Each structure stands twice: as C-alpha cells, then as structure tokens.
Amino acid sequence: MRSNMNKEEFLDAIRDALVNLDLDKARRITRAALESGVDPREIILKSIGEGMEIIGRKFESSEYFIPELIIAGEIGKEISEMLKPYLKGEGVRKAGKVVIGTVKGDLHDIGKNIVKMMLEAAGFEVIDLGVDVPKEKFVEAVRNEKPDILGMSALLTVTMVEMKNVIEALKEAGLRDKVKVIIGGAAVTEDYAKSIGANGYGADAIEGVKICKQWMSGK
C-alpha cells in the first residue's frame, strides 16, 4: 500500500474496495489510512456511505444480487469494527437507532439479516430481536430501547397480520407516536403497509435503508 496516498485517495480506495467486494484490500487500506491519520468519521461518511450507495445502484440495476449485498454488508461492518478504537471518546453520533425483528410465527431471517448488516454499515445502531417475535417483545423493546425506528419483517402471508397486531399494541401502550415503523418481506406490499398504519415500506434492503436514512436526515 502506497504510504504517500493523500486523504482523498485513501477514502476513494476504501470505497472502491468495498464496491468491488474485496475484504482483504478494504482491511489493508483502512489500516493504512488510520495509520496515516485519516479521520475515521470521514471513512464512515465517505468511504462506507458512498460505497453502499453505489452498491445500492448496482443492485437496482441487477448488476449485483442478494449474495453481493450480504458480502458488502459484512465488509462495511468489518471496516466499522476497525474504526471503533479510533472513535472512542470522540462522541460520534450514530445515524439512528433501529429495533428490528421477524414477526411471530415466521422463522425467516435472511432478508432481516441483510437489512441489519446494511443498516449497521450505514452507521445505525441495530437491536435485533431475532425471529418469531411476539408483539409484546416488540413493545417492550420500543419502551426500553427508545429506538428512532422499528423494523418488522414477514415472509409468509399468514404472518402479515402480526405486523398490524404490533402497531395496535404500540398504540395501546402509548408508544406509537414515539417510533417510526417500517415493514418489509416477500409477503408485504406498500398498500398493506398503508392499510395497517406503518410509516414506510421497504421493497428490498436497499430501499429500506434508504428510507431509514431519509427519516433520520429529516430529524
């Protein structure tokens, strides 16, 4: 790795390694950048942020598919882990806090896990409740964690109604206006999201993360 790279060259190289799904290169350049004094916050905002946007466009144009999204999410997360020791005490603000889970009766988690990885790579703190999550657990997490966003996933048509049940339970607990709700999964549509009172619908992981980022930038 050239030690005479300037800051912009480092940032671009990390971004390109992420876009090209090259974990070893991303690690190597990130390490060199940190040793050269590049601000870790700029690596988060520019290298990871811009890289994920490019990957999102590649996914939308069918150049990349689900496996590439998974790899990109893992690389983004790994770079973020490398930056953590350099960020301590700097008061770095997270993009936002998200509680996420697959609803009761549904054991599918691949889509949820992709969304989680991509949210984390985008700078969000994510509380993952797992699969087969009852409405009470969602409500408890919103009450205790005080997230900005609640994300629910359902792959099965028969479990979709649980999303409505969770929203109703949040209303009963007086918490509905405290959190934005986004839903997604193979069984879900935008019309269904509107019908149950969700704030948003993510057709895929890229769209879901984009909506979450838009919500937080508007705060």
Output the tens digit of pLDDT for each of the chain's 219 residues: 556 789 999 999 999 999 999 999 999 999 999 999 998 888 987 898 888 889 888 988 999 988 998 898 889 888 988 988 887 655 556 789 999 999 999 988 878 888 887 888 788 999 999 999 999 999 999 999 999 999 999 988 999 999 999 999 999 999 999 999 999 998 899 999 999 999 999 988 888 988 999 999 876
- Separation of alpha carbons 21 and 59, rounded Å: 13
State the residue range of the domain holding 205. 96-217
Burial class, 161, CB count within 10 angstroms (exposed 0-12 / middle 13-18 / buried 19+): middle
What is the model's pTM? 0.74
What is the domain-level CATH number for residue 38? 1.10.1240.10
Q: Of 34, 68, 87, which residue is a domain's last?
A: 87
Q: Of 59, 87, 115, which residue is a domain's last?
A: 87
Same domain, 193 and 111: yes
Side chain identity at 208, as an amino acid letter?
Answer: G
- Separation of alpha carbons 78 and 93, rounded Å: 19
Task: Report how many domains make up the chain.
Answer: 2
73: Cβ contacts below 8 Å, ≥ 6 apart = 114, 117, 118, 120, 121
